[in-house]
């Protein structure tokens, strides 16, 4: 007698109902048993009872080798947060064919959408013009556009060529065919296959009208965009920080904006929430966005859709095809980031 | 002996050097004589001396039949403002094969660009979030996005399907394949050929998440978007007014925004400049843009490029192919608008 | 009392039912009276009775100034054949605001479709491989592809940048971003605005892997692609003749194919039908297509749809927006071609 | 002292110089030692000397667990043929983090290119018209097109949604927005995310004007397209067999073509080379292609580029990102096919 397929869901820090629609849950239940674990604590008893026998376990809880060894049916661990975290013994998983999945790719699309608009906003002055009109200081027409910089036919540079860059590309394509990419982790073959050019970091900085910072932070690149980098940019160029605050030297970036050297939009801050008296709140030439680029209701639904689709594949003995899958070569390399990009 | 080809340029309300680059002027001079008339007045003597013998005459000045009859070489009148104005006896021109040209099509691209960004801004709250952060009132992540409405896969409606709509379409295509169009002047064949659907005005209003108002104002459609129209829209839908203030009932639109019924972005106002104490400056749920969507330095250069290309064609005995050409059926129908869309 | 709007239709050389669907005819009848004239002869009595009072007259019959002067309601003459012919006093029409329309633009799309396939066929050897297999002479895999020339990332050249080129461009875009155009009648601004490069004829010939001949024949360019032109092409380059046989020196083209210098596909021939013993039928390295690229059932339906839409616009006092409209500068320049491109 | 990175290359059934350009080999040599093994036999001595110490081993030779256990540095096995074959102990590789790579994805693009052209050819009759002209039996224009079926706006169905389908999609998009997909191995989420519709097999067959067979053959689907399937297709619909002969019942397919029920193009045959007297050579309504869709010189170069890029990543401790990577869930499921798709 075979046991039914068992899916364990601990959605924290999300709510189950934010991630999974009723239709998603019905599809999971069609595969077998589904246990939904509310709250943010998993006791040893919970583990023994619900996780140890599971085929699929979703959640952020400790999974050292000892616990993994007790999971004889486990086919996949699903990360409910977004970033791969050091809560799992990845080596054990790789050796035993246990997939570690994350649906963090769903954040790319909403971030790309708002990033495109912020780029045009910086170049054309939407947020600033609205502020000026509310203060009664606006100019009109041509006079309002002295510093305008259209995205159309601009030279665009991308720092980082992961999910976010790939979600941004189709949105940028109607605007420009000159997209330069710097990403030392990605083969030129893939960058050029996507219609972009592979260039050095200094080229992206020195020659782009718009620079999108899309790189995740690693132990190697923290703060690599600093005063020197900003000074190498074109006068009035637009910088969009959409990934992680830690990849830039934040004070240097604010100073470059304040001085009018460059224009900046940022969705991320070194500490969130930002302190009430943080001077960033009064910095000119910068669009401030409270880490809202990624997480919408529709994004979490997309997360649920992705996870459900991959669980269905795994239940049929097929490889996951939608979520990101932790890879042996990199699983331990990414810095843990308990403040998620969402 | 043939006389040289003569081009007369009176660029007002622009400056010649804003419209024509040196390269453009060199190309015009390669065709024959070029007379540049500074200032905004054309005396009868100026007319006799410079316009009467011209092959091409650019500018906004009176051209009644009597004057036109004196222009024996005239092949084209080039409008330097943007809208066809009632300063010309169009009937005479049509009967005598004199082309009346306007390069107003160049404004479509920059307006489309900023319009796309404003749509995402309304849906995702860029301008508002920046204001909230500067006021210390922001929320973060998911909490900031309770009312967020992505453009991605949204239902988009266009009111008007002229140059502006056609410039907007390629920018919208990466976001959505559901684009409904209302334009009673344009055959369904063309709308559907562009991948959109032809629908009734009430359908655009009732079913779109984003409504772009792109229609020019005519003697027939002034104020046709009023309280009734705004009330028929979805709760929280986004309205972008990018063409002319007169096509909407402006107070109704402001009220619909103020009440939270809809979100609005407008680049145009009934009277510009807006009065210092105009309540629009304090209206919530609206992005205010001081008629800056169209006129950038690059736009005026594009105008010069278009006019130069068409003059070259005409000098070779070919029809103009770049600028808009006044048509007998509609030349007298458009309302004169001395305040240009730029 | 106003008279009803009258549409006169003489569809020859087509059949009315091939061009107009029942739905099209119903739309025309909704505008007023519709007279359908069968056959290919229009007597003076027919003219007086049906054409003289018409608002719209479709057909190929003589329309000298004397007849046109008797047409007091006439707003448009619709060409039923494809090319503007010298059967009309165009000057009279231009002076009196009578539109002369042709729906020949509908042929562009089907010709572009088959032209793309022929290009890949020439480059990859579809027709030839099928012939070899039927003769038992094929090779397999890599060996069959010694001379293969993919369209993907190839350098493509277009000679002529009219309707046909514009219909071809979106089909070519997924294959290559290097499209060179030679068309002395079209401003570089438009060619470059469409994402192509403006180059000299000799550049198109010398540097393209695939050369599409899309130019109409005029009194000036007959036979301009000759032995010298073909010899300047790359060894093994592919030439697609999709417009008119008369723009090339046909014997030179056949010799260039026969010698293996270039590969050719042609949809047009100097005399059609081709003589039974014409050596073209035995020429190697050439794909022969019996002038079938344009005229399908769906094409004629598209013609009817275009004409119907424009008649509806004209009936409402609007300019035609779908069909090609004869222009004063060029109406007399195109060579008459009684053998239509269909 | 660290040993240098070692790459072992046995290119059979290709030639090393067909796969790797000098530039590729230079890049591999920049990583460390490169051993190129000519010929198609790997002796035990060869294995001990060259493969056992290698970091990367490319080739088709037996790699049972005993041999793999002797490869202490091995990071990746690179398949030089195209399909994953049962020559490797995959389980050992998965447990030990040894990547098994194949660059078979490079065949997708050339097959898609020729497949698109064959579809238009079937629908519009290019190959057939050429044959008729050579036989002196052609008709012209409209008469030649009685059975023509444009791809433009056709309903297209894809059976299989792997690399080949994904390479075909961008080529099809300018033609049609109605693309139905049947692939029971691929989540609807991915199919719909690519702008297609997920449908049942019977829907693809019954409603498509063009059916592309793109599925690989597995132990489960051999011959699943048979007489019954072909009879359910639209009269005159076009079937393109681009993946493997074994997924169809070949005699049934030929009969369906011969009877005029459907039109067929096939690049694959049950036995290759096809016998001299095989009746397929005389079957009408079918385009015969001698397994030439995939393997061009440029394809093999792309293979070399892909492999080189992934070896560079692996040498840096990063996961491969270009080639296909064997997955534990499916590695043993695909049927071995020693006759490669090239």
Report whether pLDDT(C290) > 50: yes
Token pair in block for residue D221: 């689907």
- Lowest-confidence pick of A9-13, A190-194, C302-306: A9-13
Report whether pLDDT(B337) > 90: no
Q: What is the mean pLDDT of residues B174-182?
A: 97
Residue A40: how many other CB atoms lie within 10 Å:
12
Parallel, antiparallel or unpaired: strands B324-325 and A179-182? unpaired
pLDDT of residue D333: 62
Residues of B in contact with A126 (CB under 8 A): 114, 117-118, 121, 126-127, 287, 289
CB contact under 8 A, B292 and A342: no
Q: Which residue has the tokens 């009196």?
A: C96
pLDDT digits (tens, 9 = 90+) for A125-154: 999 999 999 999 999 999 999 999 999 999
pLDDT digits (tens, 9 = 90+) for D20-61: 999 999 999 999 999 999 988 999 999 999 999 999 999 999
If contacts are CB pairs under 8 Å, which of residues 94-113 in chain B contact chain C?
94-97
A177 touches C at CB < 8 Å: yes
Parallel, antiparallel or unpaired: strands B197-198 and B179-182? parallel
Please give the mean pLDDT across all residues of chain B.
Answer: 94
Report whether pLDDT(B331) > 70: yes
pLDDT digits (tens, 9 = 90+) for A98-115: 999 999 999 999 999 999
Residues of B in contact with D195 (CB under 8 A): 177
3-state secondary structure chain D: CCCCEEEEECCCCCCHHHHCCHHHHHHHHHHEEEEECCCCCCCHHHHHHHHCCCCEEECCCCECHHHHHCCCCCCEEEECCCCCCCCECHHHHHHCCCEEEECHHHHHHHHHHHHHHHHHHHHHCHHHHHHHHHHCCCCCHHHHCCCCCCCCCCCEEEECCCHHHHHHHHHHCCCCCCEEEECCCCCHHHHHHCCCEECCHHHHHHHCCEEEECCCCECCCCCCECHHHHHCCCCCCEEEECCCHHHECHHHHHHHHHCCCCEEEECCCCCCCCCCCCHHHHCCCEEECCCCCCCCHHHHHHHHHHHHHHHHHHHCCCCCCCCEECCCCCCCCECCCCCCCC
| D152, closest residue in chain B (CA to CA) | B193
Among partner residues D310, D321, D328, which is closest to A97 by beta-carbon distance? D328
Task: Report whether D128 contacts C90 (CB < 8 A).
Answer: no
pLDDT digits (tens, 9 = 90+) for A161-206: 999 999 999 999 999 999 999 999 999 999 999 999 999 999 999 9
**In chain A, where are the structural domains located?**
5-103+297-325, 108-288
Which CATH superfamily groups domain D108-288?
Answer: NAD(P)-binding Rossmann-like Domain (3.40.50.720)
Q: Which fold has domain C107-288?
A: Rossmann fold (3.40.50)
Q: Which fold has domain A5-103+297-325?
A: Rossmann fold (3.40.50)
pLDDT of residue A219: 73
Residues of B in contact with A291 (CB under 8 A): 140-141, 144
| Subunits adjacent to chain C (3 or more Cβ pairs under 8 Å) | A, B, D
pLDDT digits (tens, 9 = 90+) for A276-290: 999 999 999 999 999
Q: What is the mean pLDDT of residues C73-91?
A: 92
B177 touches D at CB < 8 Å: yes
C327 touches B at CB < 8 Å: yes
| C186, closest residue in chain B (CA to CA) | B321
If contacts are CB pairs under 8 Å, which of residues 184-213 in chain A contact chain D?
185-190
| B137, closest residue in chain A (CA to CA) | A276
Q: Do domains C5-103+297-325 and C107-288 have the same CATH topology?
A: yes
pLDDT of residue C152: 98
Rounded Cα–Cα distance for residues D178 and D201 (Å): 16
pLDDT band at residue C337 using 50, 70 and 90 as cut-offs: very low
pLDDT of residue C76: 98
Sheet holding C32-36, edge to edge: C32-36, C5-9, C56-58, C76-79, C99-102, C324-325
Q: Å from D96 to nearest chain A CA?
A: 7
D132 touches C at CB < 8 Å: yes
Among partner residues A124, A292, A298, which is closest to B144 by beta-carbon distance? A292
Tell me which DSSP letter residue C14 carries: S
φ, ψ (nearest 5 deg) of residue B211 = -115, 120
A50: helix, strand or coil: helix
pLDDT band at residue B332 using 50, 70 and 90 as cut-offs: low
CA-derived radius of gyration, chain D: 22
Task: Report whether D302 contacts C161 (CB < 8 A).
Answer: no
């Amino acid at each position: 007698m075979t046991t039914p397929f068992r899916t364990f869901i601990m959605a924290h820090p999300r709510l189950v109902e934010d991630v999974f629609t009723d239709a998603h849950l019905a599809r999971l239940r069609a595969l077998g048993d589904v246990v939904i674990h509310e709250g943010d604590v998993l006791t040893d008893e919970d583990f023994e009872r619900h996780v140890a026998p599971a085929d699929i376990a979703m959640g952020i809880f400790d999974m050292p080798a000892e616990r993994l060894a007790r999971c004889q049916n486990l086919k996949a661990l699903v990360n409910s947060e977004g970033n791969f975290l050091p809560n799992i013994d990845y080596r054990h998983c790789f050796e035993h064919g246990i997939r570690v999945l994350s649906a963090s790719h769903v954040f790319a699309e909403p971030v790309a959408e708002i990033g495109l608009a912020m780029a045009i906003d910086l170049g054309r002055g939407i947020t600033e013009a609205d502020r000026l009109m509310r203060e009664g200081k606006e100019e009109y027409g041509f006079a309002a556009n002295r510093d305008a910089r259209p995205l159309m036919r601009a030279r665009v540079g991308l720092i980082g060529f992961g999910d976010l860059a790939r979600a941004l590309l189709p949105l940028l394509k109607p605007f420009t065919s000159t997209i330069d990419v710097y990403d030392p982790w990605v083969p030129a073959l893939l960058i050029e296959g996507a219609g972009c050019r592979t260039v050095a970091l200094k080229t992206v900085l020195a020659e782009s009208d718009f620079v999108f910072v899309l790189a995740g932070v690693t132990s190697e690149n923290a703060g690599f965009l600093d005063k020197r980098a900003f000074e190498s940019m074109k006068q009035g160029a637009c910088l969009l920080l959409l990934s992680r605050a830690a990849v830039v030297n934040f004070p240097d970036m604010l100073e470059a904006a304040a001085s009018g050297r460059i224009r900046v939009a940022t969705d991320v801050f070194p500490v969130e929430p930002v302190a009430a008296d943080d001077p960033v709140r009064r910095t000119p030439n910068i669009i401030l966005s409270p880490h809202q680029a990624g997480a919408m209701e529709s994004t979490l639904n997309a997360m649920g859709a992705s996870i459900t689709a991959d669980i269905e594949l795994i239940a049929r003995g097929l490889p996951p095809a939608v979520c990101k899958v932790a890879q042996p070569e990199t699983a331990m390399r990414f810095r843990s980031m308990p403040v998620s990009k969402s």
